[in-house]
Amino acid sequence: MVAYAEGIANEAEDLVHPITFGTNPFYELELFNLQRISFAVSDNPFMKTDTSRFYPEIHIVSGKGELLSTIGPEKRQDSRFSASEYCENFRDDKLKINDDRKVKLTLGDFNDKDTMMILTVRSFEGKFDA
- What average pLDDT does the structure give for the chain? 77
Asked if residue 74 is part of any domain, the answer here is yes
What's the number of domains the chain is made of?
A: 1
Asked if residue 106 is part of any domain, the answer here is yes
pLDDT for 29 equals 64
- Strand ranges of the sheet holding 116-123, from the earlier edge strand across to the other edge: 67-71, 54-61, 116-123
Asked if residue 16 is part of any domain, the answer here is no
Q: How many CA atoms lie within 13 A of 112 on its CB side?
A: 12
Asked if residue 92 is part of any domain, the answer here is yes
Asked if residue 89 is part of any domain, the answer here is yes
What is the extent of the structural domain holding 95? 28-123
Q: How many CA atoms lie within 13 A of 81 on its CB side?
A: 29
Q: Are 23 and 81 in contact (CB under 8 A)?
A: no
Asked if residue 18 is part of any domain, the answer here is no
pLDDT for 44 equals 64
Asked if residue 12 is part of any domain, the answer here is no
pLDDT tens by residue, the chain, 130 residues = 788 888 888 888 888 887 777 787 776 666 667 788 888 777 666 666 666 677 888 888 888 888 888 888 888 888 888 788 888 776 666 656 556 788 888 888 887 778 888 888 887 765 544 4
Asked if residue 8 is part of any domain, the answer here is no
pLDDT tens by residue, 62-76: 888 888 888 888 888
